[in-house]
Amino acid sequence: TVVSDWKRNGTAIDCHVEGQFDLPVKREALRRCLNNLIANASRYGDHIWVRAGKRQGAIEITVDDDGPGIPEADREDVFRPFHRLDQSRNPETGGTGLGLAITQDIVRGHGGDIHLTESPQGGLRARIRLPQ
């Protein structure tokens, strides 16, 4: 549903869900989490890829983009509230610095974790792992 909403708004986004699975989640919270990740990806990249599937006893969701990515040294810092890589003081050009902090809180509130790595697409990969 989240990906369909972004597609309707003209975002270049692909989604692949491997199989079917039930995951007890707070629906609106997880929607906000995914929207935060996709919004960041669309701000910096031209195309987004979302995948979900079972991996080693957990549900894994990845959001990849083809943007510039985040330097490895900065990847943990972006989860701090109000931390922004864009030093502009104008929130119109870079946000408030809360999106990834909120996303991490939502994921951890579901007993999972989120990690940022380099995407095979050249940009950033956000990988969420949630227990089944």
How is residue 14 written in tokens? Answer: 């692909």
Q: Where are the alpha helices (DSSP H) in the chain?
A: 2-8, 27-44, 99-109
What is the model's pLDDT at position 61?
Answer: 97
Report which residue type is found at 103.
T
For 15-24, what is the mean pLDDT? 88
pLDDT (mean) for 25-45: 94
What rounded mean pLDDT belongs to the chain? 89
- Mean pLDDT value across residues 103-119: 96
pLDDT in tens, 20-31: 888 888 999 999
Stretch 30-34: mean pLDDT? 95
Does the global pTM surpass 0.85?
A: yes
Look at residue 63 and give its three-state secondary structure: strand
Q: Encode pLDDT of 52-76 as tens digits.
A: 999 988 999 999 999 999 999 989 8
Q: What is the mean pLDDT of residues 107-127?
A: 96
